[in-house]
Structure 1
Amino acid sequence: MRRIKPFAVFDHGAMSTPHLIASMRTACSAALHFGPQLSGAVLLRLGYLCLALFTAVGKAVHQSGDPRLVLAQLQLVERFSQQLHRDQLAGALDAQASGAHALSLESYAALRLPEDDPHAITDGLFAGPPPVVQGRSCYKNAEELLAAWLGIAYFEAQRRIADAHLLIGRRTPDGSICAPRFTELAKLYDQGTASRRAIASAARRLKKLEPQDTTFEGTATELVAHGDDGRTLDEFAAQTLKDLGPRAAQKKINSAIKTYKQTHGKQLPPKLGFFPGPVVNGVHFFSLRTNATDAQLIQSVCSQSGNPRTEAGRADRQASQEQPEGAGEDIEQNDEAEVGTQQDSSSASQEPGPVPEWLRSEQPMPPWAAEASEDDADEPDGEEHPPNTEAHDDPAAEPDQPLRRLNAFMALLRAPYTGGKRKVIIPKCVVYLWHADLQNLADAHGMSSNGVEIPPGELRQMLARANIIPVVLGGNSQVLDMGRRMRYHQGPIREAILARDRGCIVPDCTAPPDQVEMDHYLKAWSDGGETSVYSGAGMCTKDHHKRHAGQLKVLDVDGLPHVLLPEHQDPEQIPRRNTYWDARQAGESPARTNSATCDSCNGTAPTGAPRAHFPGSDDDNEDPLASDGA
């Protein structure tokens, strides 16, 4: 076979930049065009040339200091990283399949070339067939060879080969390579459209659900792990990774794996209980294991006490029980309080009075003062203080979030024998479920307002108890019979929005539901917007500010708020909703029976017709800084 000689060195000083780039493109594509006609020395020299060029480009970008060039280079580096991940697995599989661990010691010594001298590579290194040692080889298997040859841990080498079997190919008894174990994940991995590290991680988790692979022994092995919809978990994971963001996809895959383990008895739940732990430097450790129902009550206490901006959170700044009577009086005590009724408190006299009408400005707040104002956003909790109250405590002297939670928990324990001077936090449990789920409680799952998944057995028990607030979702994910009132989204309106959105609606946002603010996304309150379930959207503080700054848009699609991300994040410009907290998507609910109206649609949109309304359009021209922030 004719061998192509190594490429000549170009005199780039005598060449123009376009000619130089064209020559480099020719060199890069030579490996594919000439294929086996290239000698091993030429292939390796091309590889070293690419490495040197990539290193030089990185140094030049670093010296430029141009943030635009830095971002473009980072995108290129990420593409390199994606390709390197695949080449690591494919190379490990090739080393195993070709029997590289059985080469002679002389071959290993000859191949160990100086890293700074690629010209030492000659065609003589690859002349003739590979010299295989007779008898005992230096390395037992490919894993040992890769660990020693590459200077990596043995288990890392083992993981690469195992991942290659899952996503690249598997060895057969005759030494050939057959299809990988997870064919759907392998297709997505080969395309490179999703994170290859995330795909490999999902494949490793699915592998634990499957029987031992016996392909190398000559026995075919089929996948046995299927989801509730009949698809293999391999297909489910591939579709999830393709459609969702990395965090939302990981959560859904973990949930599917957990459900499969519970259904097939592959995972026994740990023992419930309250376990005293060790004492370290006078600090006592305790371990608490609960079911989902009790966990939601604890999460409710944590979310209320952990927020320093609410009355509940401010009441737990001190561990002492000697607080003025009436502190935290407006903590919700019953269903009437949850409807939005504000209780009178003796501590109200200590708060500043309402601002006189003549002091209220009709002009928008200036940009420099917008971020410093807390009245421009709903409180992350449902029990917020009135708009004209403030917290006067020194933030630096306040306990951190875990200590406030501990204070609230200890207040609950001390309440029976302290005379009830201090108003303790009342845990609250709100469960979201479909109306159709009430007719099939045997399989129905619920989701609490704090993101705790309620299994069917516990859900049936909760519905039979008192003080459980059912929020039933109906057509097109809208909440039934909640009503609307007040300037701020409080009480039942806030709970209704959270029942629909579950958390921040921005895709792949993981902010806890109890820290979500409510945004008047259809029309600002200052522009005559209404405060209702349909006008509000759940957003975390960061994304709430981004929306008002115009960095992302929120639009109405079939009555559900959707997010339009910036073009550089979503080139397709498709309205999306977050799926991390299992927020209901358009079309997932039962058939709609109500028509939807919108001022921008000049009437009523027909039932079932997709409708998108941009709140930032000409008919809804609001100034974000003039808004109440909700």
Structure 2
Amino acid sequence: MSTPHLIASMRTACSAALHFGPQLSGAVLLRLGYLCLALFTAVGKAVHQSGDPRLVLAQLQLVERFSQQLHRDQLAGALDAQASGAHALSRESYAALRLPEDDPHAITDDLFAGPPPVVQGRSCYKNAEELLAAWLGIAYFEAQRRIADAHLLIGRRTPDGSICAPRFTELAKLYDQGTASRHAIASAARRLEKLEPQDTTFEGTATELVAHGDDGRTLDESAAQTLKDLGPMAAQKKINSAIKTYKQTHGKQLPPKLGFFPGPVVNGVHFFSLRTNATDAQLIQSVCSQSGNPRTEAGRADRQASQEQPEGAGEDIEQNDEAEVGTQQDSSSASQEPGPVPEWLRSEQPMPPWAAEESEDDADEPDGEEHPPNTEAHDDPAAEPDQPLRRLNAFMALLRAPYTGGKRKVIIPKCVVYLWHADLQNLADAHGMSSNGVEIPPGELRQMLARANIIPVVLGGNSQVLDMGRRMRYHQGPIREAILARDRGCIVPDCTAPPDQVEMDHYLKAWSDGGETSVYSGAGMCTKDHHKRHAGQLKVLDVDGLPHVLLPEHQDPEQIPRRNTYWDARQAGESPARTNSATCDSCNGTAPTGAPKAHFLGSDDDNEDPLASDGA
């Protein structure tokens, strides 16, 4: 049979199962399913043997579509098993249906002849969950979860045995369309269910959704719109924030007790647990980010281990549950430490132009002051302490600083708070965001605004902060603070790199080409995306005064300039109209024509730039 005839026959088989499914016998339907599984398996093996990366990517896309469809079929099948009373079949029926997986021809119409034989009296399985766990070889709680998810997104049973609408209708519509990740939709539905009263539909009493957001919409509707519009990480963060706000508003979540708690001692290593509010957490995050930055004096100083690490202590500590949690949180950061370059990776060819431009002209300092390379660094990178130990060194240096009197560079914790101009008009509900990504709740925000040692930055329309008047090669000091106040983090959509790891990119015009270093010429980008921009793998455009990212066509077929929403950065069109001109006495600078006016608070002297302060 030729390839066209084979494909035509397969299309006929697919259309037959689709259009004549009810008329086909159970044996025919199952045989078609087994053939599809065998064909899919054979195709996967052929793709694996080809070694063609293009074919591999196309196959992966197909596999993902299969995965999405399988997720829905798992939930729908679990609901059908519950609604049809499959757990009440006779033992003989179960034995006959347990067919050898490699022999689809053993399926005959005799297996499905007549009505299903239901056992009289005590059945083999108590309920559908118990049946699915034993029949499919999965955990009982997994079977229970599938049926519960089906009630949320597929349908619910009524007292008369029929199926009614699912509990979350808006999420169910999105789930049925398949335009968003069904795994993410199911996860969101499970979290929203915890906010709702117990579902009594099966008992004959209708249950309405009670969880609503500040905009008056149900959280079901808000979550569906969020999953539809945003990327997976940004959507997850926004849904988590909405759930957290609802819990706090309705008293469903009590915060843990604050304090400093001594823990156990494991093989001579002492454990401590520290619980703080958002204000104190920002100071600690500031110490962590500065001590982990090798480009600052304080960061390099903390590479000098102040304590001896007992040999083999890491292996013993990892066996402790509490230490394992801390290890998981820092694994992603610690993995970024560079190691020695092997000989086979050292090229004899000159560096490409885009890479040279990045390293020589546009590689900005992430934080702190500019310093020359440390020529006295350890020859053995493995001898340097890892990031968690550097944080400990910095913390211990702060404790010893008052009485040691040493000349070592000590980290000064810094707290910069970002909030929008509209928030000042409603401080009762205003939330702030620190420069290290810590969300500041309204109560703590009002207290912080009253302190002289806190540096609030208030932004006007379209997040455009005035030029700080600092002309230099790198975006540092007040200029860097202002750009981060506008972008909050990396501007590439769905990037979750912490704000303290963000670099500044001359996106309008490169410094080597005569570009200026100002708030308007810089864009926040993580190291990975910064390299991608210089390599031409993505573009950064100026849209209404805000840097927007144009992703490659295979990532964004619509080719719409976008900004990251993960760190709650202001988007174009969300703020008041621009004014013709604006000046700011506090920074002695004049904004370009058409830029909105920015105001800075936190200083008693109007002529003093509060962002230039080291605030404690």
- TM superposition score normalised by structure 2: 0.86
Distance in 2, Cα, partners of 1:348 & 1:115:
46
Moved more, 356-365 or 574-583: 356-365
Query: Do the aligned residues in 1 keep the contact of 2:504 with 2:525 (CA within 8 Å)?
Result: yes
Deviation of 1:374 after TM superposition, in Å, equals 7.0
Distance in 2, Cα, partners of 1:283 & 1:565:
48
Instruction: Indicate how the Cα distance of structure 1 residues 494 and 236 shifts in structure 2: closer, same or farther if over 3 A, else same.
Output: same
Encode CA deviations 1:352-373: one digit per residue, 9 max, x unaligned.
9999999999999645973994
The answer on 1:525 being equivalent to 2:487 is no
Secondary structure of 1:96's counterpart equals helix
Deviation of 1:29 after TM superposition, in Å, equals 1.4
The sequence identity of aligned pairs, in percent, is 99
Deviation of 1:482 after TM superposition, in Å, equals 3.0
Secondary structure of 1:78's counterpart equals helix
Encode CA deviations 1:431-475: one digit per residue, 9 max, x unaligned.
001122222211111000000000011001111112211211001
Deviation of 1:162 after TM superposition, in Å, equals 0.1
Encode CA deviations 1:102-156: one digit per residue, 9 max, x unaligned.
1111111111111111001111111111111111111110000000110110000
Deviation of 1:31 after TM superposition, in Å, equals 1.1
The answer on 1:503 being equivalent to 2:497 is no
Distance in 2, Cα, partners of 1:170 & 1:192:
20
Query: Do the aligned residues in 1 keep the contact of 2:481 with 2:611 (CA within 8 Å)?
Result: no
Encode CA deviations 1:79-111: one digit per residue, 9 max, x unaligned.
000000000000000000001011111111111
Instruction: Indicate how the Cα distance of structure 1 residues 256 and 625 shifts in structure 2: closer, same or farther if over 3 A, else same.
Output: closer
CA RMSD for the aligned pairs? 10.4
Deviation of 1:422 after TM superposition, in Å, equals 2.5
Aligned to 2:233: 247
Encode CA deviations 1:21-50: one digit per residue, 9 max, x unaligned.
011111011111112110111000000010
Query: Do the aligned residues in 1 keep the contact of 2:466 with 2:589 (CA within 8 Å)?
Result: no
Moved more, 430-439 or 328-337: 328-337
The answer on 1:288 being equivalent to 2:277 is no
Deviation of 1:603 after TM superposition, in Å, equals 22
Moved more, 337-346 or 498-507: 337-346
Instruction: Indicate how the Cα distance of structure 1 residues 442 and 329 shifts in structure 2: closer, same or farther if over 3 A, else same.
Output: farther
Aligned residue among 167, 175, 178 for 2:153: 167
Deviation of 1:276 after TM superposition, in Å, equals 0.4
Moved more, 312-321 or 543-552: 312-321
Encode CA deviations 1:170-223: one digit per residue, 9 max, x unaligned.
000000000000001000100111110010000000000000000000000000
Secondary structure of 1:412's counterpart equals helix
Secondary structure of 2:317's counterpart equals coil
Secondary structure of 1:114's counterpart equals coil
Deviation of 1:589 after TM superposition, in Å, equals 2.0
Instruction: Indicate how the Cα distance of structure 1 residues 423 and 141 shifts in structure 2: closer, same or farther if over 3 A, else same.
Output: same
Aligned to 2:61: 75
Instruction: Indicate how the Cα distance of structure 1 residues 405 and 620 shifts in structure 2: closer, same or farther if over 3 A, else same.
Output: closer
Encode CA deviations 1:366-412: one digit per residue, 9 max, x unaligned.
45973994764112224332589996765333211111111110010
The answer on 1:576 being equivalent to 2:559 is no
Instruction: Indicate how the Cα distance of structure 1 residues 493 and 505 shifts in structure 2: closer, same or farther if over 3 A, else same.
Output: same
Distance in 1, Cα, partners of 2:387 & 2:150:
44
Instruction: Indicate how the Cα distance of structure 1 residues 215 and 348 shifts in structure 2: closer, same or farther if over 3 A, else same.
Output: closer
Query: Do the aligned residues in 1 keep the contact of 2:583 with 2:597 (CA within 8 Å)?
Result: no
Moved more, 63-72 or 361-370: 361-370
Describe how 1:164-203 pairs up with structure 2 within 5 A: 164-203=150-189
Distance in 2, Cα, partners of 1:79 & 1:348:
35
Query: Do the aligned residues in 2 keep the contact of 1:312 with 1:331 (CA within 8 Å)?
Result: no
Query: Do the aligned residues in 1 keep the contact of 2:421 with 2:460 (CA within 8 Å)?
Result: yes
Instruction: Indicate how the Cα distance of structure 1 residues 381 and 604 shifts in structure 2: closer, same or farther if over 3 A, else same.
Output: closer
Deviation of 1:535 after TM superposition, in Å, equals 0.4
Deviation of 1:629 after TM superposition, in Å, equals 29
Query: Do the aligned residues in 1 keep the contact of 2:158 with 2:201 (CA within 8 Å)?
Result: yes
> Which runs of no fewer than 5 residues in structure 2 stay unpaired?
none
Distance in 2, Cα, partners of 1:108 & 1:235:
42
Moved more, 395-404 or 371-380: 371-380
Instruction: Indicate how the Cα distance of structure 1 residues 629 and 47 shifts in structure 2: closer, same or farther if over 3 A, else same.
Output: farther
Encode CA deviations 1:460-504: one digit per residue, 9 max, x unaligned.
111111221121100111124633421110000000000011111
Distance in 2, Cα, partners of 1:324 & 1:118:
61
- TM superposition score normalised by structure 1: 0.84
Deviation of 1:421 after TM superposition, in Å, equals 2.8
Moved more, 562-571 or 597-606: 597-606
Query: Do the aligned residues in 1 keep the contact of 2:366 with 2:503 (CA within 8 Å)?
Result: yes
Deviation of 1:553 after TM superposition, in Å, equals 0.5
Instruction: Indicate how the Cα distance of structure 1 residues 351 and 328 shifts in structure 2: closer, same or farther if over 3 A, else same.
Output: farther
Encode CA deviations 1:267-291: one digit per residue, 9 max, x unaligned.
0000000000011111110000000
Encode CA deviations 1:243-269: one digit per residue, 9 max, x unaligned.
111111111111111111111000000
Tell me how many residue pairs correspond in the alignment.
616
Distance in 2, Cα, partners of 1:399 & 1:605:
45
Distance in 1, Cα, partners of 2:194 & 2:135:
29
Distance in 2, Cα, partners of 1:357 & 1:146:
55
Query: Do the aligned residues in 2 keep the contact of 1:311 with 1:331 (CA within 8 Å)?
Result: no
Instruction: Indicate how the Cα distance of structure 1 residues 623 and 358 shifts in structure 2: closer, same or farther if over 3 A, else same.
Output: farther
Distance in 2, Cα, partners of 1:176 & 1:226:
29
Query: Do the aligned residues in 2 keep the contact of 1:293 with 1:458 (CA within 8 Å)?
Result: yes
